[in-house]
Amino acid sequence: MNSKIKNTLAIVNRQLSIGMLFTATLLASCQKSDLIEVENAGAQPVTINLVADDAVGTRAAATGIEQYVIEVYSDDTYTTPSNIFGEGASATNQATSTDGTFSLVLDRTAEYYCLFWADKDAEAYNTQSLKAVTIVSGKTAAEAWYGTKTISAKESALTVTLKRAVAKINLMETGKLDAGKTLTATFNEPTIFNVADATANTNLSRTETITIAQAIDGSTTPVRINPTDIFTLAPVATKYVAKVTFKYGDEDEFDVDNVPFKANFATNIKGHYTSVALETFTVSYNDEWATPDNGENFSKSLYSIGDYYPEPTDPGTAIGVVFWLDNTADGYVAENGTNPAKGYKGKIMSLDEINDKCWSTESVDITGANSSTDGRANTDAIMSTPNYSAETYPAVAWCVAKNTPAVDGIYWYLPVADEIIRVYDNRAKVNNALVKANGKEFLYYYTFWTSENVDSDNAVFLTAIGEFPSSSMGKNSDRGEITRAVSAFNVNE
């Protein structure tokens, strides 16, 4: 081979070597770059901005929030923490912020389950766990918000709107209060809020003391007594019902029962805050956070004998008249001078009556209906007979038919002699209400069916003539015996 050919082959070989080296370097470079891209493929920065609802139906950011808290889990039961904040052994699933903004680096392939909290007093709450946010001992509940959200790295930025975890209490005065006195309100309140399921638990006693700095006159327009907002932790899905005990100055304490607390609702207790005047308090709660004197009626008033039940604006819409009060029950207020006794528990009689119903058309000895004091038990026993129907037991059927549609806490039944006698004892007040409602008095000299069974063929009837003798009468009699329905009531249940 001549020298020219050898030189040419050497040049070609050098070019091939250089080309192969370049190609190898290029491939190596590409592979390294690809590896870096693969390593970062699952990481994505995400920004979360928390916004607290400052009014129902709006998205205005609340002012004065001192702390925002986020807690991140890898499962929808909020059991397994995702320790994405910090590094190594100090990594945690919780972070705080003063402006509501959180920066996270998330796995693109995973979902994260987040709990959120915000409040206006960072010293009022222990937030070590958002599944048990706790009021710090010696502190009172501050306005606070909560939220939950499932997120992923698919969104690089998102906004989460929080809802309130507290109820607000407004004490509305309808009369006059003197300056310089104090009003205390004591009630059991939830002290732990679980953000995961929006429940509030562990009720402890709390007393709010309000000094009446200036005389209050709410006789024309109700005036809010508490100068600053009163907040309490409360459940979200359901209401928490409590009794509130008030004491004005050195007067006796008095209670307002059935006060509802529900997160994001304002609870309004309206009345005259003194035990001297036996005032009826109206309790309502509504989702108009900024409107303290507006809402749906929630609890019922104290009742006196002769009152319609429930108390309607139009007497024609009442379902009964109160004829007896249980003076041993909670909430009973004894008669005081010209003020009648009042109570939450007692019995009502139907506004109407009927006089063409016999007791029964069949001969059966109903041994379970032989009580002289419990008309409800007798009625239940009669309805449990194998052949019970509206045709075979017309008097009972007429009474229980009043239970459709049902009224909460009311169950109509055929009374016993003792209950009819109680109506007679209070006939002046009862008849006054009956006449206003439908013009038909309780005529005590009539003969009334009771629910007490005597034997197969007879039942007890009652008449006021001769100081209420009770006697037996044939069950199939329809000679004008009066049927009236009775029900117990207890507005605390």
Reported as a single tens digit per residue, the pLDDT across 51-103 is: 987 543 333 345 789 999 999 999 999 999 999 999 999 999 999 999 999 99
- pTM above the 0.75 mark? no
Q: Which of 166-175, 176-185, 325-334 has the lowest mean pLDDT?
A: 325-334
Of 102, 106, 185, the C-alpha closest to 152 is: 106
The CA-based dihedral angle spanning residues 261, 262, 268, 273, taken in that order and rounded to the nearest 10 degrees: 10
CATH code: domain 166-297 is: 2.60.40
| Model confidence pLDDT, tens digit, residues 308-328 | 887 665 556 788 899 999 999
| Model confidence pLDDT, tens digit, residues 373-403 | 999 999 999 999 999 999 999 999 999 999 9
Residue 207 — very low, low, confident or very high, per pLDDT cuts 50/70/90?
very high
Amino acid at 136: V
Of 284, 287, 281, 293, the C-alpha closest to 260 is: 284
Cα angle vertex 38, ends 37, 40, to 5°? 65
Cα angle vertex 99, ends 94, 104, to 5°? 45
Tokens, residue 413: 């039944």
Amino acid at 7: N
- Residue 17: φ, ψ to 5°: -65, -45
- What gap in Å lies between CA 433 and CA 439, rounded to an integer? 9
3-state secondary structure of 245: strand
pLDDT at 299 over 80: no
pLDDT at 205 over 70: yes
Residue 292 — very low, low, confident or very high, per pLDDT cuts 50/70/90?
very low
The separation between CA 40 and the C-alpha centre of its own chain, rounded to angstroms, equals 50
Q: CB–CB of 313/306 below 8 Å?
A: no
Tokens, residue 26: 């290029």
Amino acid at 235: P
| Model confidence pLDDT, tens digit, residues 406-459 | 677 899 999 999 998 898 888 888 888 887 776 667 666 678 999 999 999 999
Reported in sequence order, the residue ranges of 165-318 that DSSP labels E, i.e. its strands, are 166-173, 176-177, 182-194, 199-211, 216-217, 223-224, 230-233, 240-248, 254-261, 266-271, 282-286, 296-297, 308-309
Enumerate the domain spans of the chain: 43-163, 166-297, 345-490
Give the mean pLDDT of 12-40: 42
Architecture of domain 43-163: Sandwich (2.60)
Of 461, 487, 470, the C-alpha closest to 400 is: 487
User: What per-residue confidence (pLDDT) applies to 478?
Assistant: 80
User: What per-residue confidence (pLDDT) applies to 383?
Assistant: 97
pLDDT at 194 over 60: yes
pLDDT at 491 over 50: yes
Residue 224 — very low, low, confident or very high, per pLDDT cuts 50/70/90?
very high
Tokens, residue 441: 């008095």
Helix orientation angle between 427-438 and 417-425, rounded to the nearest 10 degrees: 90
Bond into 315 cis (ω within 30): no
Of 368, 334, 335, 357, the C-alpha closest to 448 is: 357
Fold identical between 43-163 and 166-297? Answer: yes
Average per-residue pLDDT for the chain: 83
pLDDT at 298 over 90: no
| Model confidence pLDDT, tens digit, residues 476-488 | 988 888 999 999 9
Give the mean pLDDT of 35-47: 62
3-state secondary structure of 97: strand
